[in-house]
A and B are shown apart, each in its own frame.
Chain A
Amino acid sequence: MSSQNKPAQELPPAAVDPAIAEAEERRWTPAKIALWVAIALLGGVAWGVLAISRGETINAIWFVFAAVCTYLVAYRFYSKFIERKIARPDDTRATPAEYNSNGKDFMPTDRRVLFGHHFAAIAGAGPLVGPVLAAQMGYLPGTIWIIVGVVLAGAVQDYLVMHFSMRRGGRSLGQMAREELGLIGGTAALIATLAIMIIIVAILALVVVNALGESAWGVYSVALTIPIALFMGVYLRFIRPGKVMEVSIIGFVLLMFAIISGRWVAESAWGSELFHLDRTVIAWGIIVYGFVAAVLPVWLLLAPRDYLSTFMKIGVIALLAVAIVVIRPDISVPAISEFASRDDGPVVSGSLFPFLFVTIACGALSGFHALISSGTTPKMVEKERQTRFLGYGGMLMESFVAIMALVAAISIDRGIYFAMNSSAAATGGTVEGAVAFVNSLGLAGVNLTPEMLTGLASDVGEESVVSRTGGAPTLAVGIAVIMGQWFGGPGMMAFWYHFAIMFEALFILTAVDAGTRVARFMLQDTIGNFIPKFKDTSWRPGAWLCTAVMVAGWGYILILGVTDPLGGINTFFPLFGIANQLLAAIALAVVMAIVAKKGNFKYLWIVVLPLAFATVVTVTASLYKIFSPVPAVGYWAQNAAFREALANGETSFGTARSVEAMEAVVRNTTVQGTLSIVFVTLALIVIVTAVLATIRSWRGKGGSDNEDPRVESKFYAPSGLISSPAEKELDAQWRALPAELQPQRGGH
C-alpha cells in the first residue's frame, strides 16, 4: 500500500459521507420517478399478460419483461432495504481483500470483474435443468417461483452469506456454522454439506448419462473434451505459462471441432459402433473419470476444463438471451397444466406444493451458493458496499438464466416435451410407445404423431428423442429450435443441439471433479480427527482412499439411478432439490443466528421469511417422500408395495417387469428413503440449534460477535455498476492522485 510514502498530500476519504449518500438516494427527480414508474408499469403489464392470458399462444418476450423489471425493482428497493437494515456496510472498514491482501487468493478485484467471476462460479447446470422438469406443471408456477423466490429468498441468502463471510475474513459456511451454532449444530451442518455434495454430484452425473446414452455424437464430442483439456493443461504448464486467454481460445476452437466432427463420426460405421454406448457403460465411464480426474493435479485437467466451461458459459448465456429477444418464440403451453394439482405427473411426481419448490432449486433458491458466497468471493471484494451488487445482483443473473431455460423448454411442442421427459418405464423407449403414452395422458392441445418424434430425432442428429429424461436434452432441443430460427435454419439444428449438450456436460463434469475433491478433503479432515495421518492431504494413499470412498458414494447412487426400473430422474431428482434447499435452510439459519446476535430483531423477518419457507417446503417434501401412502410419491410406500408383491410371489409389478427389477425398486427406494430421513434430520438439527442461538441472543446472552476486528480502509471504489454523482466525484478525487499515492488494488 502507499503507507511507505510520506503523507505529503492528504488522502481523500475511503467512503462517501453516509449523510450525502442517504440524501442522494432519497432525492427523487422527475426523470428518476418517470423511469421507475415506467419499469414498474412494464413489469406489471408483463405479469398481467402472463397471469391472465388464456389465448392460444403467448409471446416469450413477456417472460423477459416480467423477470427483468422485477429484478430491477427488487434490486433498487428491496436489496437496498436489506443493505440499510441488516448488512449495514461501512466503506471506511477495510475488507479482507485489503487487510489480508497477499497477491493471491486475497486480492481486491474490480467489482465488475468479480461479478462475472462470481456468476461463473455459481451458475452451472442446475438452473438449466430444474425449470425444464417443472414445466410439466405449466409455465406460470415455475415463473412465479423463479422470480419471486430469487427476490425474497435466493438472492437474500447469497447476499447475506457473502456479506457476513466477508466480515469474518472470508470464512466458509461450515466454519461460520461451527462458530455460531456450537459443536452440535456445526457438526450437523458439516455432515449435511458432505452428504448433500455427494447426492448433488450423483444427480448431475445422472443428467449427463441420460443426455449421452445411445448418442454416438454426444459421447464422442464430450469424450474429446478430455484430451483437449489435457493438451491445454500441458500447454499452460510447460509451453506458455500464464497465457490463459490464448489457450482458452485454442481450446474453444478445438471444442467446436469436436462438436462438428461428431456428426461425421456418428454417421460412420466405426464411429457409431465405438461410441454408441448404453447408459450403464457411460455411468461407469463417468465414475472412472471422476476418480482419475480428482486425483490428478489441478493444472492438468480441472483448471483447463474450468477455463473452457467459463468461456462457454458466458458465451452461450449471452447468445441465448439475445436469441430469445430476437426470435421471441410463441409459447403454447398452458399457464397452469393438468399436472399442477395432481401427484402423478410423468416428469416428476408429486403435487405443486411442495414439489415445484424443490424441483426448481437453482435459479430461485440454491443452498449450494452459500458455499461459493462464503470463502472464495468474499476474499476478493474491494469494498463492503459492493456485496449487494455481487451477492444479490449475481443471484438475480442466475435467476434470469433459469427463466431463459424455462422459455427454451416450453417453446417446444408439448407432446414432444412429454415424450422426451417421460421415463422409459412409461414409454417403453419406443416411438410407438411414446406416442401412445403421451396421447393417453389426455392433455389439451396435444396430438403427438410418430413423424414428429422421428423428424425431430433426425433434425438433431440423434437416433431417438424418446425418454431422454433429465432436462438437458429437452433444453438442448429448445436451444436448437430457437437458435436454428435465428441463423442456420433447420440444417444447423443438429449442431446447436450438440453444442448445448456439450455445454451442459462441460459444467457438470467440472462440478463432478471439483465436488469429489472438496468432499475428499472434508472426509480426510474428519478422519484426521481420529487418525492424524489423514490430515496430511498430500499423503497419496490417504488421498486416494478418501477419493475412492467419495466416488463410491456418488457412483453407487448414479448406478442406482441409471438402472432404476421406475425411470431414474423422476424418482431421484426430488432428492437433489430437497438436498439443495436443505442446504439453503442451513445457510439461512446461520445467517439468522448472526443477525440475532447483533441484536437486530426488528428486521430479522427478512431472514426468517425465506428460512421459514425453505424449512416448510423441504420438511414437507421430505415427509411426503418418507410417509406418503401414494407409491409414486412416498419412497417407503413404493418400497412396501414392491415388497408385498415379491412376498406374494408376483414376477411383475407396475413398470418393473421381472423379479430382479422388483428387487431393484425395493433396494432403490430403501436408499432414497434413508437419504430423505438423514437429510431432513440433519437439517432440523441445524435449524433447531440456530433457533436456540437466536433465543439466547434475544435474552441478551448471545455472546460476542465473531467478526474480524475493524481495520481502517485506505482506498475507495464505487459500490455498483452505475455510480451516483457523489461516488463519481470521490472516485475522481482518488484517480487524480499522483501515481505514487495511488492505492494498490484490483483490476490489473
Chain B
Amino acid sequence: MTRYIIRRLLQAVPLLVIITALLFILTANLGDPLAAFGGERRRLQPADRARLERQLGLDRPLIEQYAIWLVGNDWMKVDLDGDSIADSYGTRRGVLRGDFGDSFQERRPAIEVIGERIWNTLLLMVASEIIVIILALLVGTFSALHQYSFWDHLITTLSFIGYSMPIFWLALMLIYLFGVNFQRWGLPSLPTVGMYDLSVGPTVGQIALHMLLPLTALSVVSLAAYSRYVRSQMLEVIHQDYIRTAYAKGLPERTVLRGHALKNAALPLVTIVGLDMPLLLGGTVVTEAIFGWPGMGRLFYKASNAGDIPVTMGILFIIAVLVVVFQLITDIVYTYFDPRIRYE
C-alpha cells in the first residue's frame, strides 16, 4: 500500500507540471497585470511601467517566468535597476517552497489573500456536501425500494429538473422569493447577500442564516445527480443473492437495508464524492457571485479579470493539487470499504 501511494504521488508530479505550465501560459496573457498598480486615477508612466515589469519579472521570457514561479529566483542574481547587469539575489522562493508570490492587486502574499477566502468556500462546500450525501442516500434508497411507484416517478422527474437547473436561475428565484417577496409580504425574509450583517458581526447565527440560500441552491443541483446514482446502485444491490439470504434467515428489513444493502450501494458514491469535492470549488463561482459570498470562486473571477497572475495561478494550483490528492484518498478509502480491492 505504501509503495502504491508513493508511486501514485510520483506519477502526479509530471501531471502537475504539465497542467501548471499550460495554465501559466494562459494566465500570463489575461490582460494587463500592471493595470491594477496605477490605480484608477493615475496612469503609469512608461518608466515606472518598465521598472515594475522588471521587478515583477514580467519582462522575462514566459518559460523563465514559469520556472521562477515554480522554483523561485533567490538562488540566482537578477537585474533590478535595468542596466542589464544582474546585481542582487531574487526574493521569490517559488510555489514548490510555498511562496505563491505577491498579489498584484493587494500587494501582499497571494497565499494570504487566498487563505482568507478558502475557508469561506470550504464552509459552504462541506456543509452542502454533507446535506447532499445524507439526503441522496435517503431519497435514492426510498426511490429504489418503491421502484415505479408514484413517488419514484415523482422523484425521478424532480431530480431531472434539479439536474438540468442552471444554478443562477435557481439562485435568483430563491432570492426573489425568500429575500424580496417575503419582505414585501411582511414575512421573515432571509438575507441574500454576504456572510453576515455588518452591524452584528460574524457570529455563528448570522453566518448560518446567510448560508441558507446559497446552500439550498448548491444542494438542490447536486442532490438530483447523487440521488439518481444511489437509486441505480441500490436497485442493483437489492436483487443480489446475499440480500435474499439475509431476508431468508429472518433479519428485520431495517437491518438488511442498513447493514447489507446500503453499505454496498453507497460504496461507489465514495468515488463520486471524492472526484467531485475539488471540482465543487469551481462550481461555486456563480453561486458566490450571486450571493456575494466572499469565497475563492469570486476571488478567482476578480483576480483573473484583473490579470493578477499570482492569485489566479495560486488558486488553479491549489485545485489541481487537491484533485490529485482527493483521487488518492478516494482509492485508499475504497480499499477500506471494499477489502476485495488491493492495490499493488
Q: Do A and B come from one complex?
A: no
